[in-house]
Amino acid sequence: MTAAQTRTADSNSAPAALIIVAAGSSTRMGGRIKKEYLPLNGGTVLSAAARIFFQTMHFTAAVIAVPAHGEQDARAALFADPDMATLIGTTQLLFVPGGATRQESVRHALEALYTAGVLPHSDSSLVLIHDGARPFVTSAIIKAAAAAAEAYGAAVPALQPVDTQKETDKNGIIIRHLQRKNLAAVQTPQAFRFYPLLDAHRKAAADGCDYTDDTEIWGKYAGSVKTVPGDSCNKKITYPGDLPQADKGASRMIRTGLGYDLHPLVEGRKLLLGGIQIPFDKGEDGHSDGDVLFHAITDALLGASGLGDIGSFFPPSDPTWKDADSAQLLRTVWEQITAAGWKLGNLDCVIALEQPKFLPYREQVRESIAKVLHADKSQIFVKAKTGEKLGVIGEGKAVEVWSVCLLEKQQA
């Protein structure tokens, strides 16, 4: 099963499309390279921004608004993330040339969705509009914005400004002292019912006014906008200094996790370690396929992320998990952990096993684990120890595994 198939696609009931606006010229970045195309986390700012959407919700179509004649560069930036094709899956991907303003770029993207006919003519069809330069958006924000748009028609993530806000005149003189508690600094994704927004944008294009963003256009022609909690980590890359800072250790949260498991070794079962079947006359007994290594890894990763443990995700009392493929259980869990913004630093494991010898299978097992986690083999290590003929391990009655991992997450 692919990453795209295992993502939590049931998180949105309404048909939805995604628009990512990356049509600006990045003049504040010195104009040398578009900020959306700068490298980040093994991909680019644009691919990082897109990735989390595809991990969080199912989209019928995704439109990237790019500079005129800029499709090739945008495509390269998006697919710089090696997982992108899998993540996009069956979603229809479109690139449209933006306009002179953000408002115009969004309208072009909305019209492209309309022309493609990908969203049913229904009030439930949604569109999420996101800045290509906001790579640190979270699943929680995306889900909250989509759910609120479904309920209220339009939604935007917002934060109360930290600094006291003033209004000034053109000479820089303060003319109004604003109340911080009544103010909202809004972020993206902004989420809307698709057809009313398209209609509002068409009217806004005809009325000749300038609008600050899509919520203002909605507010004038369609109705009110619900705010949902934003996140200070969801910042927009604006100045060259934003990225190196975002990529520095100081802005990272780092967590370790520990996992342990033991299974009895019995005749008539397969010996599975990290998805690799090791030839032996005994194997792990257990409710699932018994892959003790995958179980310990799953618990280590869950522990580090704080999302739970293997027992709470897949209760042994639930017949669903009888003979379950432990690789699939780990994939399911890892989808949720990565959707929460975590990335793997490294994973190290110790297997306690009297027989057979593990060393000949080590590289195969490391590769198998790396594949499930979409990681590099260098991030995964596994070693084995015997029980020196002592205890349940030494007597060949059981196999035990300890696993530790390090997870990292971007922070504001």
Q: Where are the alpha helices (DSSP H) in 57-154?
A: 71-78, 84-88, 102-116, 139-152
Question: Which residue is closest to Mg ion by CB?
Answer: 295
Residue 286 Cβ vs Mg ion, minimum distance, rounded to whole Å:
6
Per rule CB under 5 A, count of chain residues that contact Mg ion: 2
Contact (Cβ atoms closer than 8 angstroms) between residue 190 and residue 197 = no
Bridge-partner residues for 156, per DSSP?
A: 227
Question: End-to-end CA distance of the chain, in Å?
Answer: 34
Binding segment for Mg ion among 136-144, 188-196, 253-261, 388-396 (CB under 5 A)?
253-261
Scanning 16-24, 194-202, 254-262, 338-346 for contacts with Mg ion by CB under 5 A, the matching segment is 254-262
- Which lies closer to Mg ion via its Cβ, residue 309 or residue 376? 309
Q: Is 295 in the site for Mg ion (CB under 5 A)?
A: yes
Task: Pick between residue 295 and residue 331 the one whose CB is nearest to Mg ion.
Answer: 295
Nearest CA among 83, 108, 151 for reference residue 20? 108
Angle separating helix axes 292-305 and 326-339, nearest 10 degrees = 10
Q: Which stretch binds Mg ion (CB under 5 A): 7-15, 118-126, 258-266, 373-381?
A: 258-266
* CA pair distance 36, 40, nearest whole angstrom: 10
- Nearest distance from residue 235's CB to Mg ion, in Å? 41
Report the chain's C-alpha Rg in angstroms. Answer: 25
The answer to whether residue 261 forms part of the interface with Mg ion (CB under 5 A) is yes
User: Minimum distance between the CB of residue 326 and Mg ion, rounded to whole angstroms?
Assistant: 8
Under rule CB under 5 A, residue 333 binds Mg ion: no
In the complex, the smallest distance separating the C-beta of residue 390 from Mg ion, rounded to whole angstroms, is 22
Minimum gap (Å) between residue 308 Cβ and Mg ion: 15
Distance in angstroms (rounded) separating the CA atoms of residues 366 and 228: 42
Of the candidate spans 115-123, 128-136, 260-268, 314-322, the one that interacts with Mg ion by CB under 5 A turns out to be: 260-268
Angle at CA of residue 306, ends 294 and 236, nearest 5°? 110
Kindly state the DSSP code that residue 79 receives in the 8-state scheme. T
Q: Which stretch binds Mg ion (CB under 5 A): 6-14, 53-61, 96-104, 255-263?
A: 255-263
Q: Cβ closer to Mg ion: 231 or 261?
A: 261
Q: How far apart are CA 352 and CA 385, in angstroms?
A: 5
Q: What is the distance between the alpha carbons of residues 34 and 31, in angstroms, rounded to a whole number? A: 7
Closer residue to Mg ion in complex, CB, 242/261:
261
**Residues interacting with Mg ion, by CB under 5 A?**
261, 295
